[in-house]
Amino acid sequence: MIAEIGQFSLILALVFSTLLATLPLIGSLRGVVNLQQLARPVARTQFLLTLIAYICLTLAFLNNDFSVAYVANTSNSHLPLLYKISGVWGGHEGSLLLWTLILATWTMAVSFSKGIPEDMVARVLSVMGMIGFGFLLFTLMTSNPFDRLFPVPPEGRDLNPLLQDVGLAIHPPMLYVGYVGFSVAFAFSVAAMISGRFDAAWARWTRPWTNVAWLFLTIGIALGSWWAYYELGWGGWWFWDPVENASFMPWLIGTALIHSLAATEKRGVFKAWTVLLSVFAFSLSLLGTFLVRSGVLTSVHAFATDPERGLFILIFLTIVVGGSLSLFAWRAPKIVSRVHFNVISREMAILLNNIFLGILCFAVLIGTLYPLVLDALNMGKISVGPPYFDFIFMVIGIPLAAIIGIGTLIRWKKDQIKRINKTVLFSLVLSIAVGFFTPLLMDHYSFGAGLGIATGLFVIVLNITNLGARTSKGKRIKDLLGTPRSFYGMVVAHLGIGIFIIGVTMTNTYSIEKDIRMLPGDVHEIQGYGFGFKGITEVQGPNYRATQGRFDVTRNDKTLTTLRPEKRVYLVQQNPMTEAAIDAGFTRDLYVALGEPLEERNAWAVRVYFKPFIRWIWLGALVMALGGGLAASDKRYRRSKKYARASSPMVRSAVGSVVENNTAPVN
Amino acid sequence: MCKSIITAFLLTISIPFFTLAHGQQEIFEFGTPEQEAIYQTMIKELRCLVCQNQNLADSNAGLAQDLRRKTHEMVVEGKSQGEIAKYMVDRYGEFVLYRPTVSKSTFILWFSPFILLALLIFLSYHFIRKARRRDELFGTPSDEYDEDQLVRVKSLMQDKE
Amino acid sequence: MNRFLAPLGIFATMVVLLAVGLTLNPREIPSPFIGKPAPEFSLAELDEKAAPITPEAFRGEVWIMNVWASWCVACQQEHPLLMEMADRNLIKLVGLNYKDKRNDAKKWLQRHGDPYGHIAFDESGDVGIDYGVYGVPETFVIDQDGIVQLKHIGPLTPDDLRDTILPLILTLTGGQS
C-alpha cells in the first residue's frame, strides 16, 4: 500500500512538473501575470509530492518490505537502522529519487526568493520544472523504485558492504546537493537568455545560490575522498578514478563560475562567458551523475546491458545541453560586455583564474576519455592514471596558486604593479624561505616538497596580508568588524586552498607505507611510533563477522592508543571488507590495516602507514567550504531582499538607471 | 571502451585470483634506498591488469603480487625505471602503464592542455589590448558601474530602508 | 558566422563521437605477442617424469598452449571443448599449469580428464608473466617457426574454435591437419 502511495505521488509530481515547466513560462512570454504567479505554488506542491514519494520508499526500507524489488535488492532485515535510511540511495533507483527530491527542494527554495521580478521567478522555476520533468520521467520509465517483486523473497540481498559506512552514507546527498544546486545558476542563466535581459541583478541573484551549491559539492567530494582513505584500505585519498573525475569536473567549472559571477556582478564583464560556465557546470553535473549511475565510464558493459537507460540519458543530455547552447548561440550576440580593464586588474586575474581552471577541467576530461577514444579509433589500449593527472595539476596548479594569491590584491579595472610589488615580494621571500626550510626538519630533503609548501604558504600569506591591508592603524579591530562577509569568504576560501596544497605536498612526499609480516608480540617502529601487535580476536557484528587485530601504539615507551583494524565478512553478500584503524592527528595519521593471515601460525600481513598532514587535505576543503558559506551569507544578498520588498518607485528608478546604463550597447 | 568490457569480463573469470591466489604479502629487501624508491614508484605507476582500476601497490590480486615480486627482482638487479616499464609493456602492452608514453597517438593527451593554455592566454591578452586601443582612439565611454553611481544608488536605497 | 555557435558545434561533435564510439564493436586487448617468437622457457612436466618442456621442442609443428589451473573456475567451462579437441586429435595441445599445486592439478585432471600431450608446471607463475597471462584460462596458437599467431583470453567457446582457431590452424598447416 505504501509503495503504491509513493508511486502515485511520484506520478502526480510528474504532472506538476509538467505544469511548472510550461504554464509560468508561457505566462512570462505572453505577459499573463496569473500564469506567472502559478510558478511558486506549483513548485512547492511538486516538492511535497516528491517528498511523500521519498518518505514512502524510506518507510518500505524501515518495514523490510521485500515485495518492493528495490528494497529486496538493497536492504536486509539485519541491516542497522542508519543504513536502512541511507540504503534508500544505495542503488540506482533510489539515488535517482534522491536526486529528484533534492532538485525539488532547490526548486522550492527558489520559490521563496524575494526581490526578484515575478516574471523572472516564473521563468527560473519553469526551467527547473523542465529538469524535474526529465528526471521524474527517467525515474518512472526506466528506474522505478516502487516496482513490486513476485514472489516476495523472505530476505533482502543486503546493502553493498562498501556503502555500510557513515562517511559514504552522507557523501551522496552532499554531492547531489552540490550537483543539483548548479541547476539554479543554470536556470537563472537560461531564464535570462529567454528574456534577453542580462543585468547586474541577474548575477547578484545567481551568486548566493551558486556559492551554496559549490560549498556542498566541496564537502561532498571531500567526504568521498575521506571515505576512500579509511574504507578502501589503501590509504590513498584520491585515485583519479573516472567516478572521482566525474565529480571533480563540475567542481572546477563551478569554481570558475563563482569567480566570473563576481566579476559580472561587480563590473558587468564576462557576461556571455558566465552564462556559458553556468551551462557547463550543470551539464557536467548531469554528465557526472549519469556516468556514475549508468556506469558508462567504468564499464560500458553496464551501459550496453541497459540500452533503455543509456538511450534516455543520451537524449536527455542532448536536449538539456544542446538546447541551452542553441539558446546561447541565439541570444549571446545581444549580451554586451564591455572590456574596460587593464592588463593589470582584478578582471584580468579572474580571467586567468577561469582559463587555468578551464584547462584543468579540460585535462581531467581528456585524461578520462582519451583511453576510450583511442580504443574507439582502434589506435591501441592505454591507461591514463595518476602520473598524468599529477603532472598536469602540478605544472598548471602552481601558477594558478600564484594567481590566486596575487589576484586578490589587485584592484578592479586598473592597477599598478608598483602598488603591490612590495607585498608580493615580501610574501614570496617569506614563503620560499619557510617553504624550502621545512623539508630540512623531515627525514629527507625534497625539493618538490619545498616548492609545494612555498606555494601553499604564498597563498596563505598574501591572503592574510590582504586582510591586514584593509585595516588602518589604531582601528584595526573596528576595520576588521566592518569588513563584509563576502571579503572574509574570499580570504577564507583561499586559505583553504593553501592548507590543502600543504597537506597534499606533505602527504605525497613524506608518507611511509610498510607491508610487514607480524607475529603477536612483534613491534614495528615507524617515525618513532611503535606498533605492537597483540593478537587477533573474532568479533560478531550485526550483519557481519569480523577478525579484529589489536595494536598498541607507543611512543617513547608510553602507550598512545590502541588500534583495532578489522577484516569483515558480511553474511549476505559474503565479500571481505577491510576496516582500517586510524589514529588521526593534526600533523600525522597512524594507519593500520589487516592484510591476510600468513601460512605460518598466527602471523599476519599488516599494512602500517604513517601519513603526515593528511588531515590538512580535508581541513583545506572544509575551510574552502566555510569560505563559500561566508560569501553566500553576505549582508548584500539579504539586504537586497529587504529593500526590494519595500521597493518604492524611487529606488526602482535608481536601480533601473544603473540597469539601463548597463545594458546600453557600446559603440 | 572495450577495456572496460574486458575488465568486467575478467572480474568474473578470475575471481580465484582474489580469493585463493593471495595470502603472500611480501616483505622485500633492497640494496639501496634508491632501489626502494624506484620500486615504490614503479608499483604505483603500473596497472593491475585484473583489477577494476588499481595499481600494483594497492592490489591484493595474485597477479599484482607476482608483478610486484618481478619488479623487485628487476630493481635489485639494477634495472632502471625505463627497463622495467619496457619489460611490462613487452608482455602486457601499453595498457599496463598509468603514465602513457609520449607518442604520436598520445601527443594530444600530453600537450593539448598546454597548447590550449598558451593560446587562451595569448587571445585574452590580445583581446584586452585591442579594447584598450579602441578606447584610446574613440575615448572611454562612461563606465557601466561607475563607482559614484553605485554610491548614489546605495544611499538612495538606504534612505528608503 | 556567429562565434557563439562554437560551443554548440563542439558539443554536437562530442555527441556524434560518443554515439559512434558506443556503436563500435568491442575488441580484445591486442596482445603484444602476436607475430613475435613465443618466449623461451624450460619447465618440468606436471608428472615429473619426462625431460623438461621447452617450446623449442615443438619447432616444426603448429601447437596450442593452454594456460589453466585447478583453482580456475572458468577453466572447467572450456574443458569439455579441449577434451573433444584431444579426442579428435586435432592439434598438439600443451598445457601450462599456472600457479598451481601438483597434487591439486593432478586430482583435477583425474576428475575432468586430461586433454594435454604435455603439461608444463609453472608453480611460480614466472612463465605466465613472460607470456603476459592475466586472465586464466588463456590460449596461444604458435606456428611451426615458434611465432605466436593468436592469443585468446578467457574460456574458449565452440564458436571461437569454429570461427577463429580452426581456420587459423588450417591456414597455418596448409590444410593438412
Q: Which residue of B has its CA nearest to A266?
A: B145
pLDDT band at A227 (very low <50, low <70, confident <90, very high): confident
B24 touching A (Cβ < 8 Å): yes
pLDDT of residue A169: 83
- The pLDDT, as a whole number, for residue B62 is 81
Among candidates A359, A387, A517 on the partner chain, residue whose Cβ is nearest the Cβ of B45? A387
Give me the residue from C4, C21, C26 closest to A332, CB to CB. C4
pLDDT at A418 over 50: yes
Whether B115 and chain A come into contact, CB under 8 Å, resolves to no
Cβ-in-10-Å burial (0-12, 13-18, 19+) of A494 comes to buried
A20, A131 contact by CB (below 8 A): no
Rounded-to-integer distance, Cα B36 and Cα A347, Å: 48
Range of the domain at B115: 107-160
Asked if the model's pLDDT at residue C1 lies above 60, the reply is no
Instruction: For residue B14, list chain C residues with Cβ-Cβ distance below 8 A.
Output: 72, 74, 134-136
Sort residue A196 into left (φ over 0), alpha (ψ -120 to 50) or beta. left
Phi, psi of A540 (to 5 degrees): -110, 120
Is ipTM beyond 0.90? no
**Cell triple for residue A214?**
559549490
Q: In this predicted structure, what is the pLDDT of residue B154?
A: 57
For residues A468-486, one letter each, b for 16 or more C-beta atoms within 10 angstroms of the residue's C-beta and e for the rest, the string is eeeeeeeeeeeeeeeeebb
List residues bridging with A555 in a β-sheet. Answer: A529, A558
Edge to edge, what strands does the sheet with C63-68 contain? C118-122, C92-98, C63-68, C138-142, C148-153
Residues counted in chain C: 177
Same domain, B111 and B80: no
Asked whether residue B134 is domain-assigned, the answer is yes
Q: What is the pLDDT of residues C51-106, one digit of tens each?
A: 788 888 888 889 999 999 998 888 898 999 999 988 888 788 999 999 889 899 99
More confident residue, A642 or A432: A432
Tell me, yes or no, whether B7 and B53 share the same domain.
yes
Q: Establish if C26 touches chain A: CB-CB under 8 angstroms.
A: yes
Q: Is B41 on the interface with A (CB under 8 A)?
A: no
In this predicted structure, the answer to whether residue A153 has a pLDDT above a threshold of 70 is yes
Q: Is B95 on the interface with A (CB under 8 A)?
A: yes
Provide the residue type at A562 as one letter: T
- Give the mutation candidate from C25, C29, C122 for the B interface (greatest B CB count, under 10 A): C29
Tell me: do B92 and B111 sit in the same domain: no
> What are the DSSP E strand ranges found in chain C?
63-68, 92-98, 118-122, 138-142, 148-153
Element (H, E) at A545: strand A544-555
For residues B73 and B137, membership in a common domain is answered with no
Task: Give CA C144 to chain center in angstroms.
Answer: 17
- What proportion of chain C, given as a percentage, has pLDDT over 70? 89
Other beta carbons within 10 angstroms of residue A547's beta carbon come to: 17
Q: Check pLDDT > 50 for residue A18.
A: yes
Q: Is C50 on the interface with A (CB under 8 A)?
A: no
Confidence of residue A464 (pLDDT cuts 50, 70, 90): very high
| Averaged pLDDT for residues A234-248 | 86
> What's the mean per-residue pLDDT of chain A?
87
What is d(CA B55, CA B43) in angstroms, rounded to the nearest whole number?
7
Q: How far apart are CA B50 and CA B65, in angstroms?
A: 12
When comparing pLDDT for A234 and C94, which is higher? C94
Q: Band the pLDDT of A664: cuts 50, 70, 90.
A: very low
Q: Are A231 and A168 in contact (CB under 8 A)?
A: yes
pLDDT confidence of residue A651: 40
- Per the CB < 8 A criterion, the answer to whether A455 and A501 are in contact is yes
Residue B6, pLDDT > 80, answer no
C-alpha A319/C-alpha A127 separation (Å) is: 13
A413 grid coordinates: 579595472
Shortest distance, CA A282 to any CA of chain B (angstroms): 22
Asked if the structure places residue B101 within a domain, the reply is no
Question: What Rg, from alpha-carbon coordinates, does chain C have?
Answer: 21
Q: What distance in Å separates residue A317's CA from the closest CA in chain B? A: 20
Counting as contact any 3 or more CB pairs under 8 A, the partners of C are: A, B
User: Which value, in Å, is the radius of gyration of the alpha carbons in chain B?
Assistant: 29
The three grid cell numbers given for residue C145, joined into one nine-digit string: 617457426
pLDDT at B13 over 50: no
pTM of the shown model = 0.88
% of chain C surpassing 90 pLDDT: 23
How do residues A586-637 score in pLDDT, each as one tens digit? 999 999 988 878 777 778 888 899 999 999 999 999 999 999 999 999 887 7
Does residue B73 share a domain with residue B29? yes
**What is the C-alpha to C-alpha distance for residues B155 and A444, in angstroms, rounded to an integer?**
60
Nearest CA in chain A to C28: A381
Q: Is the pLDDT of residue A38 over 70?
A: yes
Contact A541, A568 (CB under 8 A): yes
Gap between the Cα atoms of B67 and B56, Å rounded: 7
Largest CA distance in chain A: 87
Averaged pLDDT for residues C116-145: 89
Residues of chain B contacting residue A597, judged by C-beta atoms under 8 Å apart:
23
Quote the CA–CA distance of A431 and A460 in Å, as a whole number: 9
Output the 3-class SS for A143-192: CCCCCECCCCCCCCCCCCHHHCCHHHHHHHHHHHHHHHHHHHHHHHHHHH
Does the pLDDT value for residue A553 go beyond 70? Answer: yes
Domains annotated for chain C, with CATH where assigned, are 32-173 (3.40.30.10)
Sheet holding A512-518, edge to edge: A512-518, A604-612, A588-597, A581-583
With 0-12 / 13-18 / 19 or more C-beta atoms within 10 angstroms meaning exposed / middle / buried, residue A522 is middle
Looking at B45, B62, B96, the residue that finishes a domain is: B96
CB A279 within 8 A of CB A325: yes
Lowest mean pLDDT of A15-19, A540-544, A653-657, name the range. A653-657
B80 and chain A in contact, CB less than 8 A:
no
Cα separation of A1 and A3, whole Å?
5
d(CA C109, CA A661) in angstroms, rounded, equals: 88
Domain-located, residue B22: yes
The answer to whether C74 faces chain B, any CB pair under 8 Å, is yes
Say if residue B149's pLDDT is above 60.
Answer: no
pLDDT at A425: 93
- In angstroms, the separation between the Cα of residue A354 and the nearest Cα of chain B is 10
- Chain B CB contacts of A299 under 8 Å are 4-5, 7-8
B153 Cβ under 8 Å from any chain A Cβ: yes
List subunits contacting chain A, requiring 3 or more Cβ pairs under 8 Å: B, C
pLDDT of residue A374: 83
Of the ranges A254-263, A519-528, A594-603, which one carries the lowest mean pLDDT score?
A594-603
**β-strands C92-98, C118-122 pairing:** parallel
- Residue B161 — very low, low, confident or very high, per pLDDT cuts 50/70/90? very low
Instruction: Give the count of alpha carbons within 13 A of A213, CB side only.
Output: 34
Give residue-wise pLDDT tens across range B78-99.
999 999 999 999 888 888 999 9
C24 touches chain B (CB under 8 A): yes
Q: C29 CB near a chain A CB, below 8 Å?
A: yes
Nearest-Cα distance to chain B for C140, in Å, is 14
Nearest to A301 among B5, B132, B141 (CB): B5
> What cell does C172 get?
597455418
pLDDT above 70: percentage of residues in chain B: 68
Question: Mean pLDDT score of chain B, rounded to an integer?
Answer: 74
pLDDT of amino acid A643: 43
Position B10 pLDDT exceeds 50: no
Count, residues in chain B: 161
For A594, the enclosing helix (H) or strand (E) is: strand A588-597
Of the candidates A259, A115, A285, A283, the one whose C-alpha atom is nearest the C-alpha of residue A190 is A283
Distance, CA of C168 to CA of C161 (rounded, Å): 10
Whether residue B86 is found in the same domain as residue B8: yes
C69 touches chain B (CB under 8 A): yes
Q: Give me A33's grid cell.
A: 501575470
Task: Say if the Cβ atoms of C4 and A314 lie within 8 Å.
Answer: no
Domain definitions of chain A by residue range: 1-164, 416-511+617-627, 513-613
Do residues A233 and A593 make contact, with C-beta atoms less than 8 angstroms apart? yes
In terms of average pLDDT, the best of A291-305, A645-659, B22-36 is: B22-36
Same domain, B117 and B139: yes
CA A299/CA A294 separation, integer angstroms: 9
Top-confidence residue, A476 or A256: A256
- Cα gap A524→A531, rounded to integer Å: 5
Type of residue at A657: S
Residue B90, in any domain of the structure? yes
Check residue C26 and give its pLDDT. 47
More confident residue, B133 or A489: A489
Say which of B44, B93, B128 has its CB closest to residue A348: B128
How many structural domains is chain B composed of? 2
Segment A170-185 mean pLDDT? 93
Banded pLDDT at A339 (limits 50, 70, 90): low
End-to-end CA distance of chain A: 67
Encode pLDDT of A91-141 as tens digits. Answer: 888 989 999 999 999 999 999 988 888 999 999 999 999 999 999 999 999
